[in-house]
Structure 1
Amino acid sequence: MRPIAADDLPCALVEVDADGRIQDANDLFVSWTGLSMAELQGRAFSSLRTSIPTVDARADGLIRLAHVDGSSRAVIVGRRETGAGELLTLVDATERAEHEQEMARSHALEERTRNRLELIIDSSIAFSAATNEQSLADILATTVAKAYQAEQSAVFLIDESGTFAQASGSNPLRSVEQTGSLVTQASQLRRVVALSGAAAADEIAPVLGQAMRDAGVHAVLVAPIQHDDVLFGLFAAFFLHPRQFDSEAAPLADALAGQAAQTITTLRLQRQLEHAAMHDETTGLPNRRRLETQLVEYQSSTSTLVATLFIDLDGFKRVNDALGHHTGDLLLREVGLRLQAAVRQEDLVARYGGDEFVVVCEVPEVAAAEDVADRIRHSIEQPFQDIPEGFPISASIGMSIARTQDPAWNPDRLIREADHAMYSAKNAGGNRVVGAPVA
């Protein structure tokens, strides 16, 4: 008769010797392993078990018993010493193991959620410190790589021509065509795209799948940077190792992209407000405030002389009164363009107010300033397309010149002297240049 004959018990029984080798077992244990009793005898019990990671450190009696078909069963093991070894009692603990695993998954999810929430908060603080779109792109590229533990990440922003340009980060794709395929597909989908393996990329675009194979990229995550249906660009995380994405990957990408989009919106609004504060609405030229600010900067110029030309339009009031303010605004815009075309790109052209403009330029000698003034006067007296015959327009120009090394340099005095010279030109009949003495 076998030492263990309790086959009607709801638990498995195993007798092991002092070395932990199986000597006998009941039928339930035999069925749980899928081995015959002859195969079990003399086999180390430890070869049939696998530990189960658990949240509760006290659950050290919970193991997983292997079956020959590759499956396993969670059991709780009780031990009682016998004269020759131990008698092991194994109770099915499938429900408990599932609970423990669920607890472990829940704990891991909670930890990931906490870490990602901290990341979102930290990124929000970092984004708020960005002073321009370039610094924002740098912060975003670093944040994305850290958030997803990606080997490489890149940020692509839409430039003024409406095309994507890499603003920050590194891009492992080897050609412009391959990168273009990625950004085009992602921007068209307008949602987070997570691709695990080149085969997944093939389903979107074969060229994209090939790009991943060529670059040794195993996975890609791409998110559009958009706000109120306005697309600013996208970011991409590149993985040079196999990577599967969990259910939180896309929401995290959405959160980061959303924060970046909000920051870009704020930066552009600030830039617009700053531009509006320093530029004339009608002509787009720097306004009086910007003029006074930039005039101070000329004090550190390496040139010997700085010329200030104060320009007043002869005949403008008649155009405004007879043809209306809309035509007058068109005239002012065209005058602004002609002034810019008549001087160098680095020279300052500003609208002072009404029909008055100011040009500031560095010159090597007084004659050069006079040449600029004459060029402007001849440009203004040419016919204007939107102004009918009988409404001639010309310019009265006052000029003041200052030495940049003069300790008494005063921007207000330069404009005032040029203004007084302009009135002298106007009182003399207009359409002429009058210069003030060199300061």
Structure 2
Amino acid sequence: MKPTLRDEVARMQPFPRALIDPSRVIEDANLALEVWASLRTGTLVGMPLADVLGVDDDELAAALATGNPGGIRLASSTHGYQETRSSVVIRAVRISEGRTIVAFDPELSAVGDQTRALGRRESERLQLLLSASVAFANTRSEEELGELLSETARRAFNANACSVHTGEAGNYTLVAGENRLADVWPDSAPPRARVTVQLGYVVTVETPDEADAVVPGLGLGDIFRRAGVYSVIGAPIIEDGTPFGAFVCYFDQHRTFDDQAVPLAEALAQLAGQVLVRLRLEARLRRAAMLDEVTGLPNRRLFDENLQQAQHTPADQIAVLFVDLDGFKNVNDRLGHETGDAVLKEVADRLRTVFRQEDSIARYGGDEFIAALHVVGTADAIELADRARAAIAEPFVGLPPEMDITASVGIAITDADVAGQSIDHLIRLADQAMYAAKRGGGDQAIVYGWEHEAARSQP
């Protein structure tokens, strides 16, 4: 999607701005440029920028290439504003596909130093915002976006620290930066972005006393003082009515926020919100592509990813159960694939009731299912395997009594620290144990390495 000035810098525009294509034709313009050019809203789009300025196109191209340190003279006939604006200084930021955002700092003879300083600060913030727009758009995860947002906001406001919190509504976690208030919060679970999101607007607190007025009843002033925080600015990240979290900047000395602070915070939050919408949509589509169409369970690829994460969670042991259905081929051959699919779906539903929420289960292919379980020992893994076998052995509606379905289960179990063992290796061990169960007559569970011992589970 092409960035536009209205989307990305709509609030950062006391001076004229334009988005131009490689041939310097205007693709978008802010209201300040439209007013400056004495044209109605929207009529600048499609016009060469040189024509709007009343300058030679080659002179404009040279000014854009050199950074235009001395300003570019405007023709006296340009919309009649030569009398008040003899020149402009151009700030150009090149973005994707050869397109450029151009900012104009009018050099007015009657403008004082304070106004010029304001223009320079605003221009610097615009540069930062445009750079953030490009950087945010290239992120591939919420964590990466959080790191960028935290550092960008900290630099933008010259803050001592910045925290970024994202998640689902009412349940936000720190994904980047430092929450300066967390260590001194009166209970063990300080609100992470919740207050800012509930307020729904950018919050500025310039003194600890002011904190109590902004959010009454929480004793924020005392919390600020104990944390050594004197001022904060926080912005909710809300896009299309959906709350995604917030970011908060912290200052260890008194800070007065100028009239551009709130618009800048809003713009950063808006950019982050747009990227979060994309990241979460991509994640949903990606997960949907890795779900089995028949059973709704994760497929092999998603299971491998889940197992990779499970290996890094605290647990005494991790067990992989490889489940193969006994008698399923007969169902497909005699009753057809539609009935076979119904059986597979029912098996998936039964396995969901057996295994726990923290366990990972998947359809691995054909009539094979696999599960990664957190267990306290081998006996726990065998018990879960037996429960899965018992659930699968229950009668299936629509199958003749003689077409019973059972399961052969192979178990591979290891310590949570599986140094030297890959995920594929662990799955192969469970697969080998499952084939040993098949060779032994089926409808049993066998732990890898114990095929010839009395530790196998049989009906």
Give me the TM-score of the superposition, normalised by structure 1: 0.54
Displacement of 1:223:
0.1
* Other-structure match for 1:60: none
Q: 1:149 aligns with which of 138, 144, 158?
A: 158
* Other-structure match for 2:369: 358
Q: 2:173 aligns with which of 165, 168, 185?
A: 165
* Per-residue deviation, residues 182-241 of structure 1 (Å, max 9, x unmatched): 844322221111122233322222422332333332221110011111111101111222
* Other-structure match for 1:211: 223
1:358 maps to a residue whose letter is: F
Is the contact between residue 282 and residue 333 of structure 1 (CA under 8 Å) also seen in structure 2? no
Is the contact between residue 308 and residue 361 of structure 1 (CA under 8 Å) also seen in structure 2? no
Is the contact between residue 324 and residue 407 of structure 2 (CA under 8 Å) also seen in structure 1? yes
Select between 276-285 and 183-192 the one with higher mean Cα deviation: 276-285
2:370 maps to a residue whose letter is: V
Please report the RMSD computed on the Cα atoms of aligned residues, expressed in angstroms: 5.2
Helix, strand or coil at the partner of 2:351: helix
Q: 1:188 aligns with which of 173, 183, 198?
A: 198
Q: CA 1:268 to 1:100, structure 2 compared with 1: closer, same or farther past 3 Å?
A: same
2:325 maps to a residue whose letter is: I
2:165 maps to a residue whose letter is: F
Q: CA 1:254 to 1:188, structure 2 compared with 1: closer, same or farther past 3 Å?
A: same
Q: CA 1:340 to 1:313, structure 2 compared with 1: closer, same or farther past 3 Å?
A: farther
**CA distance in 2: counterparts of 1:293 and 1:224, whole angstroms:** 32
* Other-structure match for 1:223: 235
1:286-365 residue pairs with structure 2 within 5 A?
286-288=298-300, 290=302, 308-311=322-325, 331-338=346-353, 340=355, 349-352=361-364, 356-359=367-370
Is the contact between residue 133 and residue 264 of structure 1 (CA under 8 Å) also seen in structure 2? yes
Select between 332-341 and 222-231 the one with higher mean Cα deviation: 332-341
Is the contact between residue 219 and residue 242 of structure 1 (CA under 8 Å) also seen in structure 2? yes
**CA distance in 1: counterparts of 2:304 and 2:223, whole angstroms:** 54
Is the contact between residue 331 and residue 340 of structure 2 (CA under 8 Å) also seen in structure 1? no
Is the contact between residue 285 and residue 336 of structure 1 (CA under 8 Å) also seen in structure 2? no
Displacement of 1:144:
1.0
Displacement of 1:316:
7.5
**CA distance in 2: counterparts of 1:217 and 1:416, whole angstroms:** 60
**CA distance in 2: counterparts of 1:401 and 1:242, whole angstroms:** 62
Is the contact between residue 178 and residue 208 of structure 1 (CA under 8 Å) also seen in structure 2? no
Q: 1:107 aligns with which of 109, 116, 121?
A: 116
Q: 2:270 aligns with which of 247, 251, 258?
A: 258
How many pairs were matched up? Answer: 314
1:196 maps to a residue whose letter is: E
* Other-structure match for 1:132: 141
**CA distance in 2: counterparts of 1:293 and 1:156, whole angstroms:** 25
Helix, strand or coil at the partner of 1:185: helix
Is the contact between residue 300 and residue 365 of structure 2 (CA under 8 Å) also seen in structure 1? yes
* Other-structure match for 1:276: 288
**CA distance in 2: counterparts of 1:329 and 1:396, whole angstroms:** 12
Is the contact between residue 230 and residue 253 of structure 2 (CA under 8 Å) also seen in structure 1? yes
Q: Computing the radius of gyration over CA atoms, which structure comes out larger, 1 or 2?
A: 1
**CA distance in 1: counterparts of 2:212 and 2:307, whole angstroms:** 59
- How many percent identity over aligned positions? 30
Q: CA 1:144 to 1:306, structure 2 compared with 1: closer, same or farther past 3 Å?
A: closer
**CA distance in 1: counterparts of 2:307 and 2:257, whole angstroms:** 57
* Other-structure match for 1:198: 208
1:170 maps to a residue whose letter is: E
**CA distance in 2: counterparts of 1:106 and 1:178, whole angstroms:** 47
- In structure 2, stretches of 5+ residues that fail to align are 1-107, 309-316, 374-379, 413-419, 452-459
Helix, strand or coil at the partner of 1:242: coil
Displacement of 1:273:
2.0
* Per-residue deviation, residues 10-50 of structure 1 (Å, max 9, x unmatched): xxxxxxxxxxxxxxxxxxxxxxxxxxxxxxxxxxxxxxxxx
- In structure 1, stretches of 5+ residues that fail to align are 1-98, 297-302, 363-367
**CA distance in 2: counterparts of 1:258 and 1:214, whole angstroms:** 32
* Per-residue deviation, residues 82-125 of structure 1 (Å, max 9, x unmatched): xxxxxxxxxxxxxxxxx988432332222122211211122223
Is the contact between residue 380 and residue 394 of structure 1 (CA under 8 Å) also seen in structure 2? no
